[in-house]
Structure 1
């Protein structure tokens, strides 16, 4: 198997989701630590513009968004499964809710002034200012929950998670699935990154016990890799290695071979430009060429991303 290279940083919640999935599937991986804020020249060399964290590199294939990364890891190692046979649809729906609705309520609660001050305690004032400016740019146009509304929503969601855990160890049964990994990472941020805000978890002890079970999965076996080495691995792969699904689902009237852009619908709307080489039921693939990384295939999930024809 070609090396699995995860580009991430330690305090990224969506990275924690993927790190645990790698541990659950006992997949060895390479770790490239990337900056938390822009500029990210080594990231852009591989993604072409996408700057959210994490992304997964396999040779000259780059997979964006943790939901797609989970699908890819499932294909590489089907057992233990992330998508139990009897709950394939439900597990994905709960995961999508957790990665969006739950995540944004949790982060609006986590990063109110008390939490933000704790997060940057000991750091120079310019670090907090730079982080705030970076995330403000990424969330331009988004509706953000006010702290009081976020706290109320977060408490309700924690109670709902507790209800799902009644009589079982994980959200949908006796083993974790993609829903568990998606629901865990916003709570992990509360407990580990801003513990001053973690009292909100005390009202749901069953959720805390579940979090301990999730944390015990660990991150598996990994080795450090530099960004320079990762870019060289992409260039040396002599083009994308993953076979493309030949099924073409056209919802936009844009034929394969067209020059296009792809961007997230909401948070982190930086565009990636390239040639559309695949548009399947679940994903888009763009081919692009970078002077350092060579020919790269950048893959995006359909859900949550906007495909457009490039401006002439």
Structure 2
């Protein structure tokens, strides 16, 4: 198997989601720690514009968004599966809810003044201010929950998760699935990154016990790697895609070979531009050339991303 390289940073919740998936599948992987805010020149050399965390690299293939990364890891190692045969659709829908609705409620709760103060304790004021400005730019135009509304929603969601755990160890049965990993990471942020806010979890002991079971999965076999090494590897590679489906499904009237852009629908809407080389039922793939990384195939999920043709000038 070609090396799996995860570009992430320690306190990133979506990175924790993928680190645990790697642990669940007991995969070996290389760790490239990236900056939490812009500028990210080494990131952009590989992604072409996408700057959210994490992303996965295999050779000269770069996979953006944790939902797509889960699919890629499933292709690489099918067992244990993230998508239980009897609940495939439910697992995906629940994961999508957790990665969006649950995540934003949890983070609005986590980063109210007391949580933010704990997160940036010991950090120079200018660094905390830069982080805030960076995230404000990424979320421009989004509707944000007020702390009181976020707290109420988060408590309700925790109770619903606890209800799902009555009589079973994980959300959809006796083994974790993609929904568990998606629901876990915003709660992990509460408990591990801003523990001053973790009292909200005490009312749901079933959730705390489930979190302990999830944490026990570990992070697999990690080896440190540098951004320079990952870029050099990309430049020397000819492609090692883990996505098998290449059936073209045209929903936009944009033929393969066209110059296109792909960007997230809402948070982190930075644009990646390249040649459209795949548009399947689940993902888009762009080919682009970078001065340092060489020819790169950048992959995005369809859900949550916008494909547009680049108009001639």
* Alignment partner, residue 89 of structure 1: 89
* Alignment partner, residue 40 of structure 2: 40
RMSD: 0.9
* Alignment partner, residue 252 of structure 2: 252
> Which runs of no fewer than 5 residues in structure 2 stay unpaired?
none
Q: 1:243 to 1:72 in 2, by over 3 A?
A: closer
* Cα contact 2:6–2:55 (8 A) shared by 1: yes
Residue 243 of structure 1 and its aligned partner are, at CA, apart by 6.4
- 2:274 is aligned with 1:269: no
State how 1:170-209 maps to structure 2 within 5 Å: 170-209=170-209
* Alignment partner, residue 306 of structure 1: 306
* Alignment partner, residue 167 of structure 1: 167
* Alignment partner, residue 233 of structure 1: 233
Q: 1:214 to 1:243 in 2, by over 3 A?
A: closer
* Cα contact 2:75–2:243 (8 A) shared by 1: no
* Cα contact 1:244–1:278 (8 A) shared by 2: no
Residue 238 of structure 1 and its aligned partner are, at CA, apart by 2.9
Tell me the alpha carbon deviations over residues 87-139 of structure 1, each in whole angstroms, 9 at most, x when there is no partner: 00000000000000000000000000110001000111011100000000000
Secondary structure, counterpart of 2:39 in structure 1: coil
State how 1:66-215 maps to structure 2 within 5 Å: 66-215=66-215
Secondary structure, counterpart of 1:202 in structure 2: helix
* Cα contact 1:245–1:278 (8 A) shared by 2: no
Residue 70 of structure 1 and its aligned partner are, at CA, apart by 0.2
Residue 242 of structure 1 and its aligned partner are, at CA, apart by 4.8
> Which runs of no fewer than 5 residues in structure 1 stay unpaired?
none
* TM-score, normalising length: structure 1: 0.99
* Cα contact 1:240–1:295 (8 A) shared by 2: no
* Cα contact 1:238–1:294 (8 A) shared by 2: no
**Cα distance in 2 between the residues matched to 1:52 and 1:8:** 9
Residue 311 of structure 1 and its aligned partner are, at CA, apart by 2.9
* Cα contact 2:18–2:66 (8 A) shared by 1: yes
**Cα distance in 1 between the residues matched to 2:187 and 2:72:** 24
Secondary structure, counterpart of 1:191 in structure 2: helix
* Cα contact 1:59–1:237 (8 A) shared by 2: yes
Tell me the alpha carbon deviations over residues 147-187 of structure 1, each in whole angstroms, 9 at most, x when there is no partner: 00000000000000000000000000000000000000000
* Cα contact 2:259–2:273 (8 A) shared by 1: yes
